[in-house]
Structure 1
């Protein structure tokens, strides 16, 4: 069975990251967090379908087989290889930032297909993590990456490496293309002939309805996709506007 067949048979359902070995007919006991979310928040009972992914590219169609206060067990019914991975492997070196900005950067980078992330200590950066505090923050960032994979449809959870000084990260790079963003540089992307204006329509969470799409097409809107991963509604304009500005604007 393929993913499309499982979704066609069962419709929209929760998708969870469970780092385990998947076998058809096998059973798994869900960790406390996912189990509580399914049974207490979503109020799912025995027999309810869901999708799991192992973080290494494997997905599984499953059902809740036993729900109790002590544990929640699922039975795996189908396996298929995950989709949604970018053929272009980008390793993101991201300077550590304060507050939830680092969470946002990791979340959006995962949604956009990044292959790996390394938090960096830079000269102007004023965040320095050590010891237990660094370990806790790293575990939190990896959980943010896993959660983003649950939402966007990726079956591979990209690693968030331990923070390191910028010079160490630079010395390890062997990618054939290496880029940095630097506002003061005079280098810019080449611009092609461009229209002078555009209208951009982006739907809400859950997408546009068939009536919305029909109305937009009647107004000469062209339907486009941003790729195989499902972007959040606040991410889609970031990506779409970046692409438009790159091709036709001033990026």
Structure 2
């Protein structure tokens, strides 16, 4: 049986007994149908993971006892920041999920000229939804530390801040590739547009802020494909996919 992993937003310690939140208890007992004595893995985003055993269960409550701690780290040595223009909901969800799986350190959702119209009243719900996708992806892929998720801001606001590491902006009109502009580094920031890409003005603003424009080959990639591709290339070039 596949070992189940769950994020718990609280301090954890060997010997501790914890009652899981209502929704997670329901998931373990009703959906996964776990039984007494089964072992699961817990992490709280602070590094390492804990082996816990299911010691009590009712229709609504699951209680675990933590038995072991393992100082396992699965973070990349390359600090990757994805600055992603907010795209359509299904594309944004996919991008966030794959970015977490590919070891990104920070995700910065930004509003650009071609970002689909945003309902301000729904923005908090969307950000909470993205946070849950991030947590679920971390559970699935084995990460024990949480990705930093920055609050939504306009691209122009982000570009006024100090930019982390070597900075790249994707542009189909660029002449250089990743391998021509990046040498040995330990931090990379990539800026990816929404559907339709970034405007020429936004690309120039990014360049003025210290970004280098690169392209990903002769074909035009969808926003979610472009983000996944550049992150995988960065990890293969300087990170833990080498």
Q: Corresponding residue for 2:38?
A: 48
Distance 1:55 1:134 in 2: 25
Does the aligned pair in 2 maintain the 1:84–1:154 contact within 8 Å?
yes
- Equivalent residues of 1:142, 1:159 under 8 A apart: no
With normalisation by structure 2, the TM-score equals: 0.72
Provide Cα deviations, 1:166-200, integer angstroms capped at 9, x if missing partner: 01111123323111111111223458xxxxxxxxx
Pair 178,242 (structure 1): closer, same or farther in 2 beyond 3 Å: closer
Q: Which among 56, 77, 100 is matched to residue 110 of structure 1?
A: 100
User: What CA distance in whole angstroms lies between the structure 2 residues aligned with 1:65 and 1:180?
Assistant: 51
1:93 to 83, 89, 99: 83
TM (normalized to structure 1)?
A: 0.69
1:159 shift after superposition: 2.5
Report SS of the residue matched to 2:170.
Answer: coil
Taking a change above 3 Å as real, the CA distance of residues 238 and 176 of structure 1, as seen in their structure-2 partners, is: closer
Tell me the residue number matched to 1:4: none
**Is the CA contact 1:18–1:54 (under 8 Å) kept in the aligned structure 2?**
yes
User: What stretches of structure 2 of length at least 5 have no aligned partner?
Assistant: 181-227, 238-242
Q: Is the 8 A contact 2:49 2:69 kept in 1?
A: yes
Aligned match of 2:8: 18
Query: 5 Å matches for 1:209-224?
Result: none
Q: Distance in 2 between matches of 1:241 and 1:49?
A: 33
In the alignment, which of 157, 160, 165 is matched to residue 176 of structure 1?
165
The structure where strand makes up a greater share of residues is 2
Structure 2 match to 1:73: 63
Cα root mean square deviation, aligned: 2.6
Aligned pair count reads: 190
Task: Tell me by how many angstroms 1:89 deviates.
Answer: 1.0
Q: Distance in 2 between matches of 1:162 and 1:84?
A: 25
Q: Is the 8 A contact 2:29 2:59 kept in 1?
A: no
- Give CA-to-partner distance per residue, 1:35-88, whole Å, 9 cap, x none: 122111221111110001102213100011110123111100011223210111
Distance 2:110 2:20 in 1: 34
What secondary structure is seen at the aligned counterpart in 1 of 2:149? coil
Match of 2:129 among 125, 134, 140: 140
Contact 1:63 1:76 in 2 (8 A): yes
**Residues 241 and 79 (structure 1 numbering): CA distance in 2 closer, same or farther, change over 3 Å?**
closer
Q: Post-superposition, which runs of at least 4 consecutive aligned residues in structure 1 deviate over 3 A?
A: 237-243
Q: 2:175 pairs with 186, 205, 211, which one?
A: 186
**Contact 1:97/1:127 (8 A) holds in 2:** no
- Contact kept? 1:96, 1:127, Cα under 8 Å: no
Q: Is residue 163 of structure 1 aligned with residue 133 of structure 2?
A: no
